[in-house]
Amino acid sequence: MPRDLIFPTIEPFATGLLPVDDLHSIYWEQCGKPDGVPVVFLHGGPGAGASPTHRRFFDPGFYRIIIFDQRGAGRSRPLGETRQNTTEHLVGDMEQLRRMLGIERWHVFGGSWGSTLALAYAEAHPQRCRSLTLRGIFLMRPTEIDWFFHGMGTFFPEAHRSFVEFLPPAERSDLTRAYHRRLTDPDPAVHLPAARAWSIYEGSCSTLLPNPEIVASAGEDAHALGLARIEAHYFLNNLFTPPDRLLRQVDRIRHIPATIVQGRYDTVCPITTADELHRAWPEAAYVVVPDAGHSAMEPGIRTALVETMERLKAVG
């Protein structure tokens, strides 16, 4: 397949809101072939939400493509809601959605935080996974979160400086809690500027070469609020116990066909984490894209993802 090729734009053949508890309803959609092989797409963040572009990683003539917005994200309601919002809730939501759609087993495809959720889901429900496709590996350990707040500035000092200097000097000693306080303030005049500062920081660090479109979309209010508020919530309240739990439980999923796709110059989720996962799970295919950063839309990464899904047609 030629480099930098994804499938044409498509529209869903079904959409809906699934009430998953007394507070949250998650948006879901189906695209592609109604009786095709099911694949579920897990967006990043947590809180980033999915977009129409994400439908294009999969051959619509072969796959039944299921995309949903996780709790508090995108088109799910309520937007930015952190109550009753944990990794375990999201894993349970996937099972509710799978059962509602009448799917026995599906391919699981996730990047960044989506790789975290994919691993957590697969380790809880390995019998439901035909395969795993994981991009930009994030295991939500304290060291990785510390890198987000401090390490990315090694490569993107301007973006990091803007992120830090958004806060008054007295609040800069604990960026996580300072941003969390502002992001959870009920006043939009307080939480929206903080959300934009957070989201633009992340977007600015997500590509190998500058991408103004990604940075501009990062600053849109709805996207920024879902992403920033829920990321801050997870980074403070939802760490795994023990921190390396996902690595420790790889034996539960070692038999599942898997591919890890990682940008060599990923600054948001550095390659060291993907390398650790691959060393713990050598059975998984490991594709390092030599000229890419973090974003799934980096040309080399999106091509590697499409090629992976093409190969998985043989798995069924």
On whether both 165 and 269 belong to a single domain, the answer is no
Residues 59, 69, 93, 266: which is the catalytic one? Answer: 266
Full-model pTM: 0.96
* DSSP string of 158-190, one letter each residue: HHHHHHHHTS-GGGTT-HHHHHHHHHT-S-HHH
> Domain for residue 33, yes or no?
yes
Beta strands in the chain (DSSP E): 14-19, 25-32, 37-42, 63-68, 106-111, 129-135, 258-263, 285-289
Active site residue 294: yes
Choose, from 112, 131, 204, 295, the residue flagged as catalytic. 112
Considering 181, 204, 238, which residue would you say is the last residue of a domain? Answer: 238
234 and 245 inside one domain: no
In this structure, the answer to whether residues 41 and 114 fall within a common structural domain is yes
| Active-site residue flag, 266 | yes
Count the helix, strand and coil residues of the chain and give each as a percent rounded to the nearest 5. 45, 15, 40
Beta carbons within 8 Å of 36's beta carbon, 6+ residues apart: 61, 62, 63, 64
The one-digit pLDDT tens for each residue of the chain (316 residues) are 445 579 999 999 999 999 999 999 999 999 999 999 999 999 999 999 999 999 999 999 999 999 999 999 999 999 999 999 999 999 999 999 999 999 999 999 999 999 999 999 999 999 999 999 999 999 999 999 999 999 999 999 999 999 999 999 999 999 999 999 999 999 999 999 999 999 999 999 999 988 888 888 877 888 999 999 999 999 999 999 999 999 999 999 999 999 999 999 999 999 999 999 999 999 999 999 999 999 999 999 999 999 999 999 998 7
| 3, part of any domain | no
Are 287 and 150 found together in one domain? Answer: no
Q: For residue 214, tell me if it sits in a domain.
A: yes
Task: For residue 207, give its domain range.
Answer: 143-238
Token pair of 103 as six digits: 């799917």
Of 204, 206, 294, 295, the catalytic one is 294
Same domain, 84 and 226: no
- Give the whole-angstrom CA distance, residue 22 versus residue 42: 23
